[in-house]
């Protein structure tokens, strides 16, 4: 059934565009620089950072990873961030989540200077997003979802959008992006969460349903309107006795059940994930451009 939204293909397009921007910057003597900071040895974080660094290299971004021990204090982490804040060759700083629980995560994300906050978590960038100010950086996953909707020409203006999940990384910024007054937004957005009564009734009226609550295969076929666009953000590990590892990764959408009813749907993997990295690289290059007055200030 050919209704897939191919995140890998669109991410490839964006990475090619980003690589071309890197070439222009390098012609002017600027090499975009991106620093990853990882605390501890969380296996998933190791994989994610390695993948991001590989993609950065592919488009010509200079990147490095700083790994700190699990027992690192908030003060020690803030001191390292300040070193990169002051480094003119570093244009983007990404502190990999999750951080060990003793660390004050909000303080850490606020410490990254807003002009190098390519993850879009600094309060200044969050505020700019809410105000519709395009000069800030938008969190990479919702920005990537927005690009998928745009590049697949899925009508957003006036659409009924339901976002499942109110997290700071996806749910809240996704709603903020789509409700802005603009040609590629201007949607009517409902955010459902753990306190929402009758989630199904909200989902059934959605033209676009974005699932980002972290509940394995929560969205079933009876919950969506025929022809709706379904975006699956979830990454959940569940038990699978048939798998060699004993587990498997599934999204927040019961894909095989929902796909025949959907108008468009993201696969998982291969949908939202590649877009997140593509937008991180694009944000980094924009930070480098802005540092020399080439991009939006």
Residues belonging to the active site: 52, 96, 119
Q: Report d(CA 234, CA 264) in Å as an integer.
A: 17
Take residue 199 and report the two structure tokens written for it. 């989630």
Strand order of the sheet with strand 33-39?
Answer: 62-68, 33-39, 92-95
Q: Report d(CA 203, CA 96) in Å as an integer.
A: 32
Q: Are 221 and 261 in contact (CB under 8 A)?
A: yes
The end-to-end CA distance of the chain, in Å, is 44
Q: Are 170 and 212 in contact (CB under 8 A)?
A: yes
Take residue 34 and report the two structure tokens written for it. 């991106």
Take residue 12 and report the two structure tokens written for it. 């490839």
Rounded to 5 degrees, φ, ψ at 248 are -150, 160
């Amino acid at each position: 059934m050919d209704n897939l939204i191919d995140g890998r293909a669109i991410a490839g397009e964006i990475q090619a565009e980003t690589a071309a921007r890197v070439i222009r910057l390098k012609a002017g003597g600027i090499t975009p620089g991106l620093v990853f900071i990882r605390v501890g040895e969380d296996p998933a974080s190791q994989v994610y950072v390695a993948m991001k660094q590989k993609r950065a290299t592919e488009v010509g971004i200079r990147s490095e990873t700083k790994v700190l021990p699990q027992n690192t204090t908030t003060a020690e982490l803030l001191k390292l961030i300040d070193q990169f804040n002051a480094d003119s060759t570093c244009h983007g700083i990404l502190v990999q989540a999750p951080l060990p629980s003793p660390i004050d995560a909000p303080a850490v994300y606020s410490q990254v200077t807003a002009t190098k906050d390519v993850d879009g978590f600094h309060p200044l960038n969050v505020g700019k997003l809410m105000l519709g100010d395009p000069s800030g950086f938008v969190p990479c996953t919702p920005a990537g979802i927005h690009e998928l909707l745009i590049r697949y020409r899925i009508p957003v203006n006036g659409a009924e959008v339901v976002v499942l999940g109110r997290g700071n990384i996806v749910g809240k910024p996704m709603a903020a992006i789509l409700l802005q007054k603009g040609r590629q937004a201007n949607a009517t957005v409902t955010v459902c969460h753990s306190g929402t009564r009758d989630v199904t009734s909200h989902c059934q009226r959605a033209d676009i349903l974005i699932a980002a609550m972290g509940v394995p295969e929560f969205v079933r076929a009876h919950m969506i309107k025929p022809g709706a666009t379904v975006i699956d953000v979830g990454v959940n590990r569940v038990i699978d006795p048939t798998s060699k590892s004993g587990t498997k990764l599934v999204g927040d959408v019961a894909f095989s059940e929902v796909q025949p009813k959907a108008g468009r749907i993201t696969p998982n993997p291969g949908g939202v994930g590649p877009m997140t990295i593509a937008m991180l690289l694009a944000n980094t290059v924009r930070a480098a451009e802005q540092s020399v007055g080439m991009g939006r200030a």
